[in-house]
């Protein structure tokens, strides 16, 4: 209708035209076409197919105002209308004239439908003659289709003019004009709000400012909606004039690519639809980063700002989010101001406004401050994590998101693989895709000359699975100019209900168990190229996945140690939001307008609601649903059908507030609902807005542990294995590789920037979290990481300051004369191909250089500085370790050893907090502007009795159980020996068990294998001599001297004694060994000028 059109005439040309509109003379032949368009007919579905309202809404006039108190004209009155539909509330401000236009539109509809009903008799007669075919629709002058009903008479849907007349001319003398107008308006609203067909008409839905997205609870409360004009979208194909920016045909103002769309504002985004009754997204502007401040401490930073146009008839504003800036027009200056205020309020309102700064500078707020359903569960090594991921994928009902540095479609998630053929990743995804589950996979597009992960092959295989599988590779190196950095996140998100995050990619070589076997001949556990040792050889192709790359009789696989975790509740949705941001950014950059690949059309039902159910639903139903991960069918306003030709722009979830409700609940009246996968309403009384944030964030001395959540359980030697774990995606096992599912405080942290996620600012919240946690640590820090490259203050080469934080914390403990331990476990050698002395292994040596520079060598190393300050006691404060395993390559084969490659990225603080993610400790991962990473900080709320530094201690259920699992694996402890390592700080644990085991194991491996690295080899010359000696003696050995002689020779009373190496190796406990700090200490390991790595940026290696 005319009142909803946008008038935006083009500026006129010619002398003195200024900003005036140009007119043209209407040709006579245009008039019949205009008239006929009023009653044009076309075959389309009836309106019942996409109703917005399933039940009648309510509307109450809460106030009446007029522009001038002296003005008594009822036409100028403005009415504030409070509407409610189910749990949604919103307010409208309408003028009497708009009600008048609505009434005429409804009367026109009734008139046309009455004509249509008269035609039914004729149509039936024609059909009997075999002539009639289609049911009609009409278009109004706005170009919007008027769907005609065929099941009721038009009389039942008619709004009598007698109801509208009092709105224009209120009756009565005894009351004021405002009171009489309010009464008349309320009576009129009651007329059309009492009929479900009228309420679902386009005229009324437009008047009420509602759309197909309005009442989908998963997207949050209803905020502002209206028609707006945008220019950045591709041409919307329409057969009518609905794209006109104004209601008249005489202005030539629609020729500059501006198009009318329906804007839907939600707390986290602004969605653009072609029409209120269309649920397909044209675009989405996600509010998740603040624009760069103009100064004044960011006080003037806004997402939406009003713009001044040289044409006074044009009214526009600009929305800036991330690296996107979109110009939008509205039909009046008042509309622009309303949009600007609404967007800024929705996006910036704390504590959950996505542009509001959060702790550590993260995009996501801390979760779990109240009982909001935040839960976590850990997995040690790939076998446990992959089984849980497979179970979650098998139970998926709606959508699956996968994000990886490397994804192998032929990966088996359960072993032995021959008895679990259906667990192969491509088979799992195919099965779910055939069931209608939408699958989105985002993989890193590598530089082929540097890496051999062959993402082209992975994409081709994944796209061949099913049309419901969508795959994007990113970045395009040439167009983006990004060659050195990678997308390093490892994510699996299922139905927005559970996500998996940590160090494990879904690729070859990652599956492992606590045994860390080095051999598999004949193949039972690791088929084909999954028998993987990158130190020996990297396959040139992955297309023949079941063909062995290594000779299993001669070479060991490289065991893989990793840590992963599952998250439920708001943290899971925060991870999904990160995926959405990256997906949409990659989509816009890869192929925004190409129809030949499925990138353009968004899905509209991609999320399972987290404002689940109604508040009246029983707790028993809620509990039954929470105890299942099998998902639900969506019960939203959208059709379950989806286009199989398009990759969508994905809608992010609206967060849950700290009291379990939506971020905008109080302002909009949206009520939290309990239902399938719902998160129970907080049992804690609502608190003042920033109270929990202040207690959680600002206290930097200790980790915040609410007394209300402290639960003390007496701990015995098998507590972490025998405790009641509740429902978890991973089943409890005897090896302790699956942790308890516990309620925690969680915060998602990440490293992203403009190139990786389209943000306007660099986010390095992982780096900030590391430094903050180290500073807060009271007794103990345990780190496992793939790399350990960091710098002290004043280091101009290495920028991250994890090392500086450790150094300062140790000095503080020394000055306070308190016991403090830092234990670091890292790989013994970088996991890249090439012998240490090989000409093609410059990258291996370069990484070794930067790691030794961090730990022990030079004035920038932590041990060198600690020795100067605290002397020999430095090793009491910090020590470094690796992992190693041994075994027979086959029943009659040789005994071999290999490092256990430490790929986990975790830090445990005081057995109360754990940081788990994909980020390494180096500049690449931590600075934010380089590799993209994601992690989670988990702080326990459920506490148990433990010990620390010889005294009673309240340890966290999650963090303590994770450390005990890791240490029992590394130390080879049996279930009855766990109590020996409860206290990680005491000398009886740290020195007599941990350090002693590492030293003993190191000596045995040296005696049997003389394997490298070791502290006896200080130069490349010594290394060459050792390699030459053992190759000559054994005939064959591995690249790191990993083959044992058939018999060990030792001197006993002057005689040579020969023994089986296995007998000596039986004394090894677990996998822990000391890190060889003196290895190659006389060599400069940096690349030389004759090596290609010399000319690469050093940033590549650190």
Which residue numbers are catalytic? 488, 490, 495, 903, 905, 910
Helix, coil or strand: residue 289 = coil
In angstroms, rounded to a whole number, what is the distance separating the alpha carbons of residues 795 and 789?
A: 12
DSSP summary character for residue 1032: H
Residue 767's nearest CA partner among 817, 717, 805 is 805
In angstroms, rounded to a whole number, what is the distance separating the alpha carbons of residues 394 and 495?
A: 11
Helix, coil or strand: residue 946 = strand
Q: Phi, psi at residue 571, to the nearest 5°?
A: -60, -35
In angstroms, rounded to a whole number, what is the distance separating the alpha carbons of residues 623 and 674?
A: 10
Quickly tell me which residue has 């005990």 as its tokens. Answer: 964
DSSP summary character for residue 828: S
Question: Token pair for residue 141?
Answer: 């002058």
Strand-pairing partners, residue 907, are 783, 915
Strand-pairing partners, residue 902, are 561
Q: Report the 10 Å Cβ neighbour count for 467.
A: 11
Q: Phi, psi at residue 938, to the nearest 5°?
A: -115, 120
Q: Phi, psi at residue 339, to the nearest 5°?
A: -60, -45
Quickly tell me which residue has 């300050």 as its tokens. Answer: 869
Q: Report the 10 Å Cβ neighbour count for 818.
A: 12
Helix, coil or strand: residue 694 = helix
Question: CB under 8 Å to 756, separation ≥6 — which residues?
Answer: 475, 485, 487, 582, 931, 932
SS3 string, 105-118, reads: HHHHHHHHHHHHHH
Question: Token pair for residue 835?
Answer: 């012998």
Quickly tell me which residue has 């622009």 as its tokens. Answer: 336
Quickly tell me which residue has 């030293």 as its tokens. Answer: 999
DSSP summary character for residue 438: E
Q: Which helix (H) or strand (E) holds 720?
A: helix 719-722
Question: Token pair for residue 418?
Answer: 């021959």
In angstroms, rounded to a whole number, what is the distance separating the alpha carbons of residues 501 and 508?
A: 18
**Triad 272, 273, 275: Cα angle to 5°:** 145
In angstroms, rounded to a whole number, what is the distance separating the alpha carbons of residues 670 and 685?
A: 18
Residue 568's nearest CA partner among 623, 629, 504 is 629
Tell me the H-state helices in 856-981: 862-870, 874-877, 923-926, 957-971
In angstroms, rounded to a whole number, what is the distance separating the alpha carbons of residues 1076 and 829?
A: 10
């Amino acid at each position: 209708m005319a009142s909803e059109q946008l008038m935006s005439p083009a500026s006129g040309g010619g002398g003195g035209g200024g900003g005036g509109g140009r007119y043209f003379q209407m040709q006579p032949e245009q008039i019949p076409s205009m008239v006929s368009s009023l009653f044009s007919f076309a075959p389309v579905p009836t309106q019942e197919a996409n109703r917005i309202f399933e039940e009648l809404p309510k509307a109450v006039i809460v106030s009446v105002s007029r522009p001038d108190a002296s003005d008594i004209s009822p036409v100028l009155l403005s009415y504030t209308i409070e509407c409610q539909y189910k749990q949604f509330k919103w307010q409208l401000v309408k003028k009497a004239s708009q009600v008048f236009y609505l009434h005429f539109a409804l009367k026109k509809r009734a008139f046309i439908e009455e004509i249509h009903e008269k035609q039914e008799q004729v149509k039936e007669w024609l059909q009997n003659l075999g002539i009639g075919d289609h049911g009609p629709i009409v278009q109004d002058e706005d170009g919007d289709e008027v769907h005609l009903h065929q099941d009721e008479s038009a009389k039942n849907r008619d709004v009598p003019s007698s109801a509208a007349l009092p709105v224009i001319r209120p009756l009565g003398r005894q009351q004021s004009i405002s009171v009489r107008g309010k009464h008349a308006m309320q009576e009129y609203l009651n007329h059309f709000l009492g009929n479900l067909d009228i309420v679902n008409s386009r005229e009324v839905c437009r008047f009420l400012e509602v759309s197909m997205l309005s009442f989908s609870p998963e997207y949050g409360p209803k905020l502002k909606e209206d028609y707006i004009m945008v220019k950045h979208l591709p041409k919307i194909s329409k057969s009518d004039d609905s794209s006109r920016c104004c209601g008249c045909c005489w202005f030539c103002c629609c020729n500059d690519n501006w198009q009318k769309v329906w804007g839907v504002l939600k707390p986290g985004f602004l969605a653009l639809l072609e029409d209120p009754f269309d649920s397909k997204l044209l675009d989405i502007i996600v509010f998740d980063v603040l624009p760069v401040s103009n100064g004044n401490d960011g006080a003037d930073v806004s997402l939406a700002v009003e713009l001044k146009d040289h044409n006074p008839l044009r009214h526009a504003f600009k929305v800036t989010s991330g690296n996107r800036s979109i110009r939008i027009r509205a039909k009046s200056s008042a509309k622009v101001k309303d949009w600007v205020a609404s967007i800024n309020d929705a996006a910036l309102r704390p504590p959950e406004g996505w542009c509001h700064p959060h702790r550590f500078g993260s995009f996501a707020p801390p979760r779990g401050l109240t009982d909001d359903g935040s839960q976590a569960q850990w997995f040690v090594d790939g076998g446990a994590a992959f089984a849980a991921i497979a179970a979650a994928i098998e139970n998926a009902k709606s959508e699956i998101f996968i994000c990886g540095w490397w994804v192998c479609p032929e990966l088996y998630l359960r072993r032995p693989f021959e008895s679990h053929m259906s667990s192969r990743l491509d088979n799992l995804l195919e099965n779910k895709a055939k069931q209608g589950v939408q699958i989105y996979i985002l993989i890193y597009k590598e530089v082929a000359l540097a890496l051999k992960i062959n993402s082209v092959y992975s994409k081709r295989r994944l796209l061949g699975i099913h049309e419901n599988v969508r795959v994007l590779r990113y970045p395009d190196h040439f167009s983006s100019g990004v060659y050195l950095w990678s997308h390093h996140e490892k994510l699996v998100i299922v139905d927005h209900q559970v996500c998996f995050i940590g160090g494990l990619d879904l690729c070859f070589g990652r599956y492992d168990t606590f045994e860390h076997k080095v051999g598999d001949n004949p193949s039972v556990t690791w088929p084909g190229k999954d028998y993987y040792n990158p130190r020996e050889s990297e396959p040139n192709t992955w297309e023949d996945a079941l063909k062995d790359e290594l000779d299993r009789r001669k070479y060991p696989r490289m065991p893989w140690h990793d840590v992963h975790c599952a998250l439920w509740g708001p943290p899971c949705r925060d991870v999904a939001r990160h995926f959405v941001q990256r997906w949409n950014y990659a989509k816009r950059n890869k192929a925004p307008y190409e129809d030949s690949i499925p990138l353009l059309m968004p899905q509209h039902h991609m999320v399972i609601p987290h404002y689940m159910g109604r508040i009246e639903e029983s707790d028993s139903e809620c509990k039954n649903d929470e105890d299942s991960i099998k998902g639900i069918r969506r019960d939203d306003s959208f059709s379950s059908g989806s286009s199989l030709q398009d990759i969508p722009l994905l809608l992010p979830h609206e967060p849950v507030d700290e009291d379990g409700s939506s971020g905008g609940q109080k302002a909009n009246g949206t009520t939290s609902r309990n239902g399938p996968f719902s998160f129970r309403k907080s049992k804690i009384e609502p608190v003042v807005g920033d109270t929990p944030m202040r207690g959680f964030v600002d206290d930097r001395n200790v980790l915040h542990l609410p007394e209300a959540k402290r639960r003390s359980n007496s701990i015995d030697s098998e507590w972490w294995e025998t405790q009641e774990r509740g429902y978890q995606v991973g089943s409890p096992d005897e090896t302790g590789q699956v942790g308890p599912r516990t309620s925690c405080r969680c915060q998602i942290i990440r490293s992203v920037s403009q190139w990786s996620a389209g943000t306007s600012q660099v986010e390095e919240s992982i780096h900030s979290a590391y430094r903050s946690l180290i500073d807060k640590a009271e007794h103990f820090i345990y780190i496992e990481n793939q790399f350990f490259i960091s710098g002290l203050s004043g280091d101009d080469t290495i920028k991250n300051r994890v090392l500086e934080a450790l150094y300062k914390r140790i000095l503080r403990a020394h000055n306070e004369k308190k016991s403090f331990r830092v234990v670091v476990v890292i790989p013994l050698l970088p996991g890249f191909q090439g012998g240490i002395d090989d000409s093609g292994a410059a990258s291996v040596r370069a990484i070794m250089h930067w790691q030794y520079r961090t730990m022990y060598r030079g004035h920038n190393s932590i041990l060198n500085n600690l020795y100067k300050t605290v002397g020999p006691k430095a090793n009491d404060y910090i020590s470094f370790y690796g992992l190693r395993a041994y075994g027979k390559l086959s029943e009659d084969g040789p005994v071999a050893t290999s490092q256990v490659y430490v790929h986990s990225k975790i830090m445990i603080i005081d057995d109360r907090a754990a940081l788990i993610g994909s980020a390494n400790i180096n500049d690449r991962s931590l600075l934010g502007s380089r590799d993209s990473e994601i992690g989670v900080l988990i702080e326990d709320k459920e506490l148990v009795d433990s010990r620390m530094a010889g005294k009673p201690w309240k340890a966290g259920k999650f963090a303590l159980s994770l450390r005990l699992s890791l240490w029992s694996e590394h130390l080879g402890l049996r279930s009855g020996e766990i109590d020996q390592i409860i206290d990680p700080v005491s000398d009886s644990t740290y020195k007599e068990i941990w350090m002693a085991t590492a030293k003993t194991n190191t000596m045995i491996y040296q005696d049997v294998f003389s394997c490298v690295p070791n502290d006896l080899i200080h130069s490349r010359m010594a290394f060459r001599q050792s390699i030459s000696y053992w190759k000559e003696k054994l005939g064959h050995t591995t690249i790191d001297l990993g083959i044992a002689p058939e018999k060990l020779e030792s001197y006993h009373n002057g005689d040579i004694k020969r023994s089986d190496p296995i007998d000596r190796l039986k004394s090894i406990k677990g996998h822990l060994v000391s890190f060889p700090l003196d290895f190659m200490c006389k060599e400069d390991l940096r690349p030389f000028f004759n090596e290609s790595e010399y000319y690469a940026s050093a940033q590549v290696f650190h």
